Structure 1
Amino acid sequence: MTILRLVLHRALVAVPVLALVSVAIFVLAAVSPFDPLSAYLGDRYLTMDPADQARLAAQLGFDDPLPQRYLHWVGDLLTGDLGTSLWLRQPVAEVITERLPWTVLLVAVAMVLATTTALVLGIWSAWRQGGWVDRAVTGLSHAIEGVPPFVVALGAIAIFGLGLAWLPVAGLTDAGAEITVGQVARHLVLPATVLAISQTPVLLLHVRQSLLAALTEDHVAGARTRGLPEARVVLRHALPGALLPFTTVLGARVAEVVTGAMLVEEVFSWPGVAQAVIGAASAVDFPLLAALTLLATVAVLLGSLLADVAYTLLDPRVRLDG
């Protein structure tokens, strides 16, 4: 199957997946114990007359049957209208446009840090298997692997934000400061590093294991028998084959990265899309919650597709048949 056919096939598969996800969002939100009218009105909910509450709920469509609300939302979506966030009181498209770049920045920096660290330490650990670096790196990776990102975040805040006071712990800039490269960079250090730490162990251990397996293959043994330097044997003969599955792992980690970003953004008050998911869920904000969840689903599907395409391009021997 050509890459074009693969893309078309995945696009067709994505349609029912997104439809099922959207239905699930509306069903779960409908059975939620949270009252969307309460979230919409805030403190006014406690003082407003019940009759006025009922009229407002009917006006906003909260009392409409679930199928009717869903079909109305789908109809607007097909025309490019994502609706209006009842929680933030602004168009959903505007919310995403304002917040998405900050999430992309956070995730991109974190994944560059995680991937670079995993490759360097994973290759070194496999190359010097059994050495002190290998024992330290693998032991630390297994320990960190089971720690939730928010725990790492709280530890980083306690040490570098409150204890040493080296770095800011919340927001995009200091209070009252303009958005500048320097301000954003300082505030990005802790959340990006925490997100990178949460992703590095799995990537590192995978690189190490793949390279150890590649070092036992026949063509690597043949390179050694020809008297080639060990560095060349590892980097030129063993490493390329070991890194092929790494692209698939990166694609499969997208869902974990999205989840990790949600927790990190919430802890550090980073104004990204992931942070808005939590607020939208708490406020039962149907339009915003649906749009953000579909956006996350698209990111996961796209990550898997890009991983498969990259694997195919890197290894021409691969032939996709479905």
Structure 2
Amino acid sequence: MFIYLLKRILSIIPILLGVSFLVFLMVYLIPGDPARIILGQAATESAILELRAELGLDQPFFVQYGIWLLSVLQGDLGTSIAMRIPVADFLLPKLLNTLILTAGALLICLVGGVLIGLLAALKKYTFFDRFIMFLAQFGANTPVFWLAIVIMWFFSIKLGWLPSSGMYSMRTGPSFSGLLQHLILPAFATATVSLAVIARLTRSSIIEVLNTDYIKTFRANGIPESKIISKHVFRNILSPLLNMSGLQIGYLLGGALFVEVVFSWPGIGSQLYTSINAQDIPMIQAGVLFIAISFVLLNLINDLIVTSLNPRLKS
């Protein structure tokens, strides 16, 4: 297991290097001059040229990338153009907030998706099954940002059941109960598409396992259906379910960025939206890099869990 773990960790190094290159290239191609943004439109050309030389913006692209990558490896993500503060210290708490939202959405996906898929599989080809799969198909094709607006309008503005923005109550301050209340709507909006995907996968996987010969033998021997499902069916669908969950992590992270803007959740998505409007290039680079690294590391953890359940995948 140690050798496999070492190989997987080494394999993500070129992936992270490629991600860093694409992040730098993407931001490099954004129109606008960072030096002019920092000094303002009234700055003289000589002052802009001097600042460009100071920041290394007059160097060739690959030289700029090398300097930036070396700084990132040393933990220096630069200084925000808009706020004039270190980017890393400012973004790390927001990354944690985004991961909290993603974790809440993932929990809803797994619990809700598996439960819905199980009920649909046990009642396959009935009206209930077709209705549930229709809703799943509808949910899988619903834009996340539109669903977030609808959910906020109905449950928060119309009914007044849950808060519509923020992460904590401004009156009571940070608390676990306040976090849960503010997390429900954005987490559900983020989870809807992935929940539908996992529900469909769970249904098809359970139906496939229930049609196998050994399950029919268990039933013929009088083993209770609940024991067959809990002890044998779920054991067989666990590996594909975890694989699909790992694939959905990236979608949940991407969806969380849109949802954060709608619900004013203080995560990286909200900050990226603000930074893009302000053309705060160091903040944009760091935010996209944090999201990409989080996706790679979370998928690595998921792969290790799947491999521990199925040692044959190590080869």
1:272 equivalent in alignment to 2:270: no
1:320 equivalent in alignment to 2:299: no
5 Å-filtered alignment, 1:125-140, equals 125-140=120-135
Paired position in structure 2 for 1:74: 69
When residues 157 and 210 of structure 1 are mapped into structure 2, their CA distance, relative to the original with a 3 A threshold, is same
5 Å-filtered alignment, 1:34-45, equals 34-37=32-35, 39-40=37-38, 45=40
Paired position in structure 2 for 1:200: 195
Output one character per residue of 1:226-271: Cα deviation in whole Å (capped at 9) or x when no partner: 1222222233222210222101111111211111111111111111
The one-letter amino acid paired with 1:7 is: L
Paired position in structure 2 for 1:6: 4
Q: CA deviation at 1:282?
A: 4.5
Paired position in structure 2 for 1:18: 16
Contact 1:110 1:192 in 2 (8 A): yes
Instruction: Give the distance between the partners of 1:39 and 1:168, measured in 2 at CA.
Output: 37
Instruction: Give the distance between the partners of 1:234 and 1:288, measured in 2 at CA.
Output: 49
When residues 216 and 24 of structure 1 are mapped into structure 2, their CA distance, relative to the original with a 3 A threshold, is same
Unmatched segments (≥5 aa) in structure 2: none
| 2:221 paired residue among 221, 226, 229 | 226
102-111 or 138-147, larger mean C-alpha shift = 102-111
Contact 1:255 1:300 in 2 (8 A): yes
1:173 equivalent in alignment to 2:168: yes
Aligned identity (percent) is 29
The one-letter amino acid paired with 2:292 is: T
Contact 1:110 1:195 in 2 (8 A): yes
Contact 1:198 1:260 in 2 (8 A): no
Paired position in structure 2 for 1:289: 284
Q: CA deviation at 1:202?
A: 0.5
The one-letter amino acid paired with 2:147 is: V
Q: CA deviation at 1:9?
A: 1.5
When residues 309 and 131 of structure 1 are mapped into structure 2, their CA distance, relative to the original with a 3 A threshold, is same
When residues 214 and 191 of structure 1 are mapped into structure 2, their CA distance, relative to the original with a 3 A threshold, is same
Contact 2:141 2:193 in 1 (8 A): no
Contact 1:26 1:66 in 2 (8 A): no
Instruction: Give the distance between the partners of 1:158 and 1:38, measured in 2 at CA.
Output: 41
Please give the TM-score of this superposition, normalised by the length of structure 2: 0.90
Instruction: Give the distance between the partners of 1:24 and 1:319, measured in 2 at CA.
Output: 30
When residues 119 and 70 of structure 1 are mapped into structure 2, their CA distance, relative to the original with a 3 A threshold, is same
Q: CA deviation at 1:146?
A: 0.5
The one-letter amino acid paired with 1:109 is: G
| 2:159 paired residue among 157, 164, 183 | 164
| 1:191 paired residue among 180, 186, 201 | 186
When residues 40 and 194 of structure 1 are mapped into structure 2, their CA distance, relative to the original with a 3 A threshold, is farther
Paired position in structure 2 for 1:112: 107
The one-letter amino acid paired with 2:246 is: G
Contact 1:170 1:270 in 2 (8 A): yes
When residues 289 and 145 of structure 1 are mapped into structure 2, their CA distance, relative to the original with a 3 A threshold, is same
Output one character per residue of 1:50-92: Cα deviation in whole Å (capped at 9) or x when no partner: 4434434443333333222212112222323222222342212
Please give the TM-score of this superposition, normalised by the length of structure 1: 0.88
Q: CA deviation at 1:107?
A: 1.2
The one-letter amino acid paired with 1:310 is: I
Once superposed, what is the RMSD of the aligned Cα atoms? 2.3
Q: CA deviation at 1:119?
A: 1.2
The DSSP-based 3-state class of the residue aligned with 1:173 is coil
Contact 1:169 1:268 in 2 (8 A): yes
Instruction: Give the distance between the partners of 1:254 and 1:39, measured in 2 at CA.
Output: 35
57-66 or 260-269, larger mean C-alpha shift = 57-66
